[in-house]
Amino acid sequence: MNALTRWNQLKDLEDLQHTLGSLFGRSQLRWSAGQEKTKRVADWNPLVDISEDAEEYLIKTELTEVKKEDVKITIEDGTLTIAGDRKFEKVEKGKKYHRVERAHGSFGRSFSLPNDASPAKVTADLKDGVLNVHLAKNKKARRSKSRPASPDRRSERRTVWPVPSSRATPR
């Protein structure tokens, strides 16, 4: 049986880029045919543990040597995104590096929010190189067997952390 397939002129180049990216430990994104938007590929992905108890979901993200001001947590269209940048330490004159294995550069991780999560009740703290994102569960959704769409899942983008200065409360 004969089948016609569409020829992609750049397929060989994309395959080479993917192979080289894999060789150097970088994740690559493939573009769909006809897609015009540019995608930003993260330089590295931090390790994440996600757990839950009766009250909340907890997302623990390993962010060693990342400053609080270099991390941003946003919620948009039912997706929680942790993004930021780990800066490479300054090169000191006279210092010679024998091996550099720790990743640096931009990073990003995105997670779909569960139906019983309350996007309005998110808190975060960064301590000892671990970012803890606490996502409270919606008590009404926990009680009912059916899972209606949460009314506070707006399509607008909302920065959760660091807390915008208009929402900050003095301690």
Q: What is the pLDDT of residues 32-77, one digit of tens each?
A: 454 444 445 567 889 999 999 999 999 999 999 999 999 999 999 8
The class that CATH gives domain 41-88+104-162 is mainly beta
* pLDDT at residue number 57: 96
Show the tokens assigned to 87.
């800066």
Question: What's the pTM?
Answer: 0.63
Q: What is the DSSP string of the chain?
A: --------TTHHHHHHHHHHHHHTT----PPPTT--SPPPPPSB---EEEEE-SSEEEEEEE-TT--GGGEEEEEETTEEEEEEEEPPPPPPTT---S---S--EEEEEEEEPPTTEEEEEEEEEEETTEEEEEEEEPHHHHH-SS-PPPTT--SS-EEEESPPTTT----
Total length of the chain: 171
DSSP designation for 43: S
Single-letter residue type at 50: I
* Model pLDDT for residues 140-164, shown as the tens digit of each residue: 754 444 444 444 544 567 777 775 5
Tell me the domain boundaries of the chain: 41-88+104-162
